Structure 1
């Protein structure tokens, strides 16, 4: 197994509150995506909705994946004023959320 050098993934799983209008969710997603251009340590941003056939999502409907080069980059992102303000906007719209940071590992067979 080989750990990817200089890469750290930050996953944010979200379930928006029932009744949150789709256009409001779209606006929140666009706001989240803007952080990529505002916070230099964010190297990439991807998002998507759960489409699993297994139905094991435990209610989470959206996944957001940010890539950083280090845990220091994640810390800078979390403390950045744009992130702090965005968190104040998105959290009241969430029923629940989960955050996981990990370093990807590749298995060579």
Structure 2
């Protein structure tokens, strides 16, 4: 894995199980958002439900994005006990999810 030269965005797309009540989904999202208060290396968190009119989501209903200062910080987050506990909950309540980490690149066009 290359060494980070700046911020890293950690993006998760999720499809929650169809039989999961909306209030449980809300509870899970609040737990995810609260990780930013529990894990120092996690600098910010945003997320929401797909609202696109183009129906190109491939079944993924929610997207979440966290910001870290480096790839090393992402690795620290990955093994943090609060994240591990949350990840177990997420695996149990989603049909599928995708995680992508990237270093933002800005283009001068």
Q: How does 1:1-109 map to 2 (within 5 A)?
A: 6-109=6-109
Gaps of 5+ in 2: none
List structure 1 runs of 4+ shifted beyond 4 angstroms.
Answer: none
TM-score, normalization: structure 2? 0.93
TM-score, normalization: structure 1? 0.93
Q: Tell me the matched-pair count.
A: 105
- Cα deviation, residue 19, structure 1: 1.3
Q: Deviations over 1:62-89 (max 9, x none)?
A: 0010000111000000000000111112
Secondary structure in structure 1 of the residue aligned to 2:48: strand
Secondary structure in structure 2 of the residue aligned to 1:108: coil
Question: Aligned equivalents of 2:8 and 2:68: distance in 1?
Answer: 5
Gaps of 5+ in 1: none
